Structures are given as structure tokens and as C-alpha cells.
Amino acid sequence: MKFYIPKTPSCIMRFFSKYTWYFSRDVKEIYLTFDDGPTPEVTQFVLDELKKHNAKATFFCIGKNILNHPDIFNKIKNSKHTIGNHTNNHLNGWTTENKDYIDNFLQCEHIISKTLDKRTKPKLFRPPYGKIRKSQATSILKKGYRIIMWDVLSADFDVSTSIEECLRNVLNNTKNGSIIVFHDSVKASEKLKFVLPKVLKELSDKGFIFKAI
């Protein structure tokens, strides 16, 4: 049984209205996001594919991965993509004490802040697994961050999802302003390498522009 939904129900988005789920439905713009990197084996592929379509995206990076792979992190930055906080160790907010969670979030913030101009760095956070307690979210929002969720989940992380189903998850549910979740991780790489080029081509052909948050 799958414990996720490729298209986020509108009732959830309304209930958690302090989070960002999508952008304007009036403009043909799409927001691709990539979680869990940087990962040398995968992130470079993503950057190459985005460049082919002059597409910008947002990378929600894990702090420890930034430290382990500074070269590929710098490539994300130098390619003018947006970088967001994904905690230092990919913590599940539902199973982590508040202080530990916020401390881990701050560790990642510190790592990112050392490499980006604080005056221009967007303050974006995505909770790993999309799981965060209200108290944790309140603390992060008070620090001036936007909590970026999604309205389209590719499910590239799910070993039980076929590459064709992963593609359908994106193409069948994307519309103006959609925030789409992919993962530049080794676990997701097989599906991502099949799906991303097709998504970029098909949605570009339909007139969509890919923007960073």
C-alpha cells in the first residue's frame, strides 16, 4: 500500500495554508524541485538536462551532502538555480524532538549561508518526507523561511512505482504554477533519468516555462 498521493488534495493545501503548495495558476510556469542532493552520480545529470531546456529549478539540499560534495553543490549555485534547506541529516519531523529538529535545520542553514550571499539567499525549507510538526513549522516560519511543499509528487523514490507510472504522475497532474518533487538521489536515479528528459520536453512543447522558486 502506498502512503502518498501523487496529486496533493486541495483540502490538505487549504488546511495547511501557511505552507506553499503551488504558485499562480494564471501563468504557464512550473517549478521543478529536487530533494536530497547534492549527489555526484545524479545531480550532474539533472543540471545537464535542465541546461538543455534553459530551465531553472530549486534544489533542497541536505547539509551533510553539501559538505561531502562541495564541487557539485557549487555547480548548482553557479548555474543560478535556487538552493533550499532540507535539514542537515534528512530528519523526519514526526519522529524527532523539536529541539533536535530545529538544531539540525540550523546546521543546514549555517552550511548554506557560508556559501551564499545572505542578502540574496531565498529562505526556503522543505521538510524531509513532507513530515513536520506544527510546533517545528512555527519555529521555522518565525525565522523568515517559507515552507515549500508541492502539488505534484513524482514518486521517483518508490521502488514499487514503475518508470512509466512515475512519468504519468507528473504529466497527468501538472498545471500552471505546479511545484513538482523529484529527488537527485541514487535511490531515485533510474526513474529520474527516464522521466526528467521527457517531462522537460513534453511540458516545454506545451509552452510551459521552468522557473526556480
C-alpha cell at 140: 521555522
pLDDT one-digit tens code per residue, 157-207: 999 999 999 999 999 999 999 999 999 999 999 999 999 999 999 999 999
Domain ranges of the chain: 24-210
pLDDT for 122: 78
**Alpha-carbon separation of residue 185 from 42, 94, 135 (angstroms):** 6, 22, 29
For 155, residues 6+ apart whose C-beta sits below 8 A from its C-beta are 2, 4, 6, 161, 165, 166, 169
Superfamily, domain 24-210: Glycoside hydrolase/deacetylase (3.20.20.370)
Nearest to 56 by CA among 205, 200, 198: 200
d(CA 82, CA 61): 10
pLDDT one-digit tens code per residue, 53-106: 999 999 999 999 999 999 999 999 999 999 999 999 999 999 999 999 999 999
Q: Please state the φ and ψ torsions of residue 140, each to the nearest 5 degrees.
A: -70, -40
Q: Catalytic residue among 36, 81, 183, 184, which? A: 183
* Cβ burial, residue 120 (10 Å; 0-12/13-18/19+): exposed
Helix 189-205, helix 163-171: angle, nearest 10: 30
pLDDT one-digit tens code per residue, 100-124: 999 999 999 999 998 876 655 779 9
Q: Give the residue-averaged pLDDT of 1-14.
A: 88
> Would residue 35 show up in a list of annotated catalytic residues for this protein?
yes
Mean pLDDT score of the chain: 96
Q: Catalytic residue among 35, 36, 158, 184, which? A: 35
C-alpha cell at 164: 512509466
> Would residue 110 show up in a list of annotated catalytic residues for this protein?
no
Cβ contact 33:126 at 8 Å: yes
Nearest to 78 by CA among 50, 105, 107: 50
pTM: predicted TM-score of the whole model, two decimal places:
0.96
- Count other Cβ atoms within 10 Å, centred on residue 134: 10
